[in-house]
Amino acid sequence: MKHVPRLLVGLMAAVLMSQWLPLPVLWAGEPQSLEQCACIKDDTLRLQCYDRLASSTGAEQMPERSKPPVGEEEDGAPAVRISPEDDEPSYLTRHWELDESGPRGRFAFMPHRDNYILPFTYNKSPNHDHTGEVDTVKNAEVAFQLSMKVKLWQDVLGQNMDLWFGYTQRSFWQLYNVDESAPFRETNYEPEVLLNYRTDWNVLGVHLRTVTVGLNHQSNGRAESLSRSWNRVVGNLGLEYDDFVVQLKTWYRIPESQGEDDNPDIDEYMGPGELWVHYLLGGHRLGAMWRNNCRWDHNRGALQLEWAFPLGRKLNGYIQYFTGYGESLIDYDHAVDRIGIGFILNDWD
């Protein structure tokens, strides 16, 4: 019986040796086969062996996935690269919501024409004939314009047409005429209803984007001899070519009775329409407006030149030069020669 402890110790040693015998082979290096791991009796160690074997063989059998070549997607199809400039909607697209890039929907106000203020303008030939209660008109004055529109009906009758209401107000303020208590010399009010057709007809790179028809009323809200007003049917085209924006605006004056017509000869000065051309260069905008009465005898018209330039992230400088007839209703038959400098409140970028 005294050999029993030795026998038990021997048996225990044999059992332990049988359990741990594969370990020198296993930990001498990385496991070479699943059979080596299967010989391990301990569950935890056997699982670690399988993990090490899978890790070592997986790294060898699974090569690193190469990146697709430039200009090609992972499925082998050509990649479409769109630069920020290509993805940026054009001015007319933003101005008339021609696509789904950022529609505001109905009854949301947005800029219509330019919104600007010219704190200083100089007119070398002011109109002294229709001054009302103002005895003397100064050459220097402030000019500003506020303009907005709102969409009343989107996709009219299920078509690519939107119905808009626009309103523009332009004022000339004799701020520096302190002797006359700095009066407002003239303000014009211009509401209009416009039906705009959205299109993208391309001819030789020139895109016809908008076709617009509507009714326009313009008046100065004054009484008796200083009253000026007219009503028009308008038709406009909006085109784009690269960085150029072209807007052709035409109109037909709705006739009025002789007793109610405040300005029967306004067509002789304003003509049948006007042409606007703008060139967008980075943050700058160069523009020109030309208008003519299209008559050989007593030919009259107007020219406006403008430059909008960045001053900051949300602030733009603005220089405007106007020469000719029709700058305002009170001056429709008086030639004006004015230059002004200030700020444009809504930019084109």
Cα separation, 36 vs 25, in Å, equals: 8
pLDDT at 5: 43
pLDDT per residue over 44-97, tens digit each?
777 777 777 777 655 455 454 444 454 444 444 443 333 334 567 888 998 999
337 marked as part of a ligand binding site: no
pLDDT at 224: 82
**pTM strictly above 0.85:** no
Between 69 and 257, whose confidence is greater?
257
Give me the mean pLDDT over the 200-206 stretch: 95
15 alpha-carbon distance from chain centroid: 83
Give me the mean pLDDT over the 282-300 stretch: 95
pLDDT per residue over 152-179, tens digit each?
999 998 899 999 999 999 999 999 999 9
Residue 193 pLDDT class (50, 70, 90 cuts): very high
Give me the mean pLDDT over the 193-207 stretch: 96
Which residues participate in catalysis according to the annotation? 217, 219
pLDDT at 139: 97
pLDDT per residue over 239-253, tens digit each?
999 999 999 999 999
Between 318 and 35, whose confidence is greater?
318
pLDDT at 1: 45
Given a cut of 50, whether residue 316 has pLDDT beyond it is yes
pLDDT at 240: 98
Cα separation, 25 vs 35, in Å, equals: 12
Cα separation, 305 vs 288, in Å, equals: 5
What are the Cα distances from residue 159, in Å, to 70, 102, 196, 199, 210? 41, 19, 11, 11, 14
Cα separation, 260 vs 257, in Å, equals: 5
328 marked as part of a ligand binding site: no
Q: Nearest 10 degrees: CA dihedral of 267, 269, 275, 277? A: -150
| Domains observed in the chain | 4-61 (no CATH), 87-344 (2.40.230.10)
Give me the mean pLDDT over the 219-241 stretch: 96
181 marked as part of a ligand binding site: yes
pLDDT per residue over 7-46, tens digit each?
444 544 443 444 444 444 444 455 567 767 777 767 677 7
pLDDT at 99: 84
18 marked as part of a ligand binding site: no
Given a cut of 80, whether residue 104 has pLDDT beyond it is no
